[in-house]
Amino acid sequence: MRECRRNLKVIFLLRGLIPDFRTIADFRKDNPQALKRVFQVFTKVCVELDLYQQILIAVDGTKIRAVNSKVNCYTTDVLLKKIANIDAHISNYLAAMDELDHKEEDESSCTKERLQEILDDFHARKERYEEYVEDLKASGERQLLTTDSNARRMHSKDGFYCSYNIQTAVDSENHLICAYDVTNRNTDQGPMR
């Protein structure tokens, strides 16, 4: 999106159009097979023009943040801790409701209704977390991301974030990308074999 505003070559190629990031992301999401095909044709043309020397190829990964926030990234351990925490809160609120039952009805009607709303919310969250635990067991995955399910929480130079790892192989002679792969593995070693 930034290049559409500042790079003269891109401005010329787009004939002055300035798409925003969402338009670009939607196009990429709606046309993955066509984009792969364009890259394959581009690679084939580069091979025909003898632009790939294939003497030394460098492979490196770049972590791109996903839409998912860290808050919506769950593991089985995290979910079990959250469920235990909710159970403790439910016990506390039930004890508070028992205390209110012993008081006069006039004083506690509003407070008891509020406590019941909080209890209902805790029960709904507990059910959702238990479903997440079952989903993790059924899928065999170690992480569950609720917004961007294909991404994974990864370590980068800035800390832990929900990300994708984009692997690219570049020809050393002409610095052209000859292969790429998008993975949810944290490590750069082995994905592009």
Q: DSSP of 98-161, one letter per residue?
A: HHHHHS-HHHHHHHHHHHHHHHHHHHHHHHHHHHHHHHHHHH--S-EESSSTT-EEEEETTEEE
- Token pair for residue 82? 């959250």
Q: 62 and 91 in contact (C-beta within 8 Å)?
A: no
Residue-level pLDDT at 58:
81
Does residue 21 fall inside a structural domain? no
The reply to whether 134 and 39 lie within a common domain is no
Number of domains in the chain: 2
Q: How far apart are CA 10 and CA 16, in angstroms?
A: 9
Does residue 5 fall inside a structural domain? no
Residue-level pLDDT at 53:
75
The reply to whether 65 and 80 lie within a common domain is no
Whether the model pTM is above 0.85: no
| CA neighbor of 104 nearest in space, from 114, 115, 94, 112 | 112
The reply to whether 96 and 133 lie within a common domain is yes
Q: Taking the chain (193 residues) in consecutive chunks of 10 residues, what is each chunk's mean pLDDT? A: 88 89 87 91 88 78 84 90 92 81 60 82 93 91 85 84 87 83 74 56
Q: Read off the DSSP letter of residue 86.
A: H
Does residue 89 fall inside a structural domain? yes
Residue-level pLDDT at 107:
54
Host domain of residue 156: 31-69+148-183
